[in-house]
Structure 1
């Protein structure tokens, strides 16, 4: 026989709306991704953990790739604090090392699974690219911030503040993953990207 509190608890679940319910769903999806990767992400399991039904999920995300993408972005929000080493070289190396570490971590495995699954959905690929992984997004914003600090310190001319300049190191890092087929790039390559490509590019940009 149901306990007296069961109806109240169920009513509490039913009353959840908007951002509260969305947060519960994303939190549940992130838990599944951490435990089982994208392969283990199912709407049934997320609904069970979030204490809701699949219809509530489908009203917000049309499929598990879209849900996984949103949850992944939430998971990695805290990983994009901009380093401040006092030099552009130090900041650039730290940013590349963080991106490399993320790509070779369980987060990177989740991201690779999402990218593979989103292959036929350009809008989801764009969201992943503009998200929190080493594909860009918040990392790209961090590079822009690092460049802005370098300009303020007099290390670089204002002309270096260009999105193509900011995205160059991560694009080269991504190319290393694709051509080498490995989950992590040797640190010596990261140093080479910074010293042989990025810094000469920055210092070669004239003001204006």
Structure 2
């Protein structure tokens, strides 16, 4: 619909939908306010009143198409939960909507304003909360002491997964890499810092 006098939430959704379509079709580098306005059937002033810069509109459009489901995992073990959350994130980032995010991340290298907005608004709040919940359950089961529930420990697996996408430019991270992140880095870090229950003594 391009006619009528759309206002408020209706117009905002039309703009976000148009911006998301432009991101998918042309990437962030090809998305302009003019193109979005034409696709949305509105004028640039209506866009600028809501998003004063292209970076802000790009982030808002990504959030519009991003999966709104809260990530969760409760397999009964710390290892199982960590693998499940990584697999959920990997599935999202390798999807078409994930391609938009990867494009934004690539563009952010040359656009400080976009990078700052990504840090502020696409910081993975729900995902971070899921990792804290994961560690909390591990504490409750006796797999880790309370000291395990701290930001750097919780953030490590996702930082490593982001690194795989950023440094290797892969469309999807192989599952064996996710297993390595958990088994070779995350769990050993917890054990090495004394954040997990000690292993029983050997029978030597």
So what's the TM-score if we normalise by structure 1? 0.77
Q: Distance in 1 between matches of 2:70 and 2:24?
A: 18
Counterpart selection for 2:32 from 25, 29, 42? 42
Residue equivalent to 1:62: 52
Secondary structure of residue in 1 paired with 2:56: helix
Alignment CA distance shift 1:206-1:82 (3 Å)? closer
Count of matched residue positions in the alignment of Structure 1 and Structure 2 = 194
Retained in 2: the 8 A contact 1:131–1:138? no
Which whole-Å deviations, capped at 9, do the CAs of 1:42-67 have from their partners, x for residues lacking one?
32332234332111101222333321
Q: Which residue of the other structure, out of 98, 102, 126, is the alignment partner of 2:92?
A: 102
Structure 1 residues 30 and 190, CA gap change in structure 2 (3 angstroms): same
Given the alignment, which residue of 128, 136, 145 partners 1:157?
145
Work out the CA distance in 2 between the residues paired with 1:162 and 1:169.
Answer: 13
Match of 1:182 among 146, 170, 188: 170
**Contact (CA 8 Å) 1:47, 1:53: kept in 2 or not?**
yes
| Alpha-carbon shift at residue 161 of structure 1 (Å) | 0.7
Task: Point out where structure 2 has 5 or more consecutive residues left out of the alignment.
Answer: 198-204
Aligned equivalents of 1:154 and 1:130: distance in 2? 34
1:130 and 1:158, CA in 2 relative to 1: closer, same or farther beyond 3 A?
farther
Q: Structure 1: which 5+ residue stretches go unaligned?
A: 1-8
Q: Alignment partner for residue 18 of structure 2, among 25, 28, 31?
A: 28
Q: What do you get for the CA RMSD once the two structures are aligned?
A: 2.8
Alignment partner, residue 202 of structure 2: none
Distance 1:123 1:142 in 2: 28
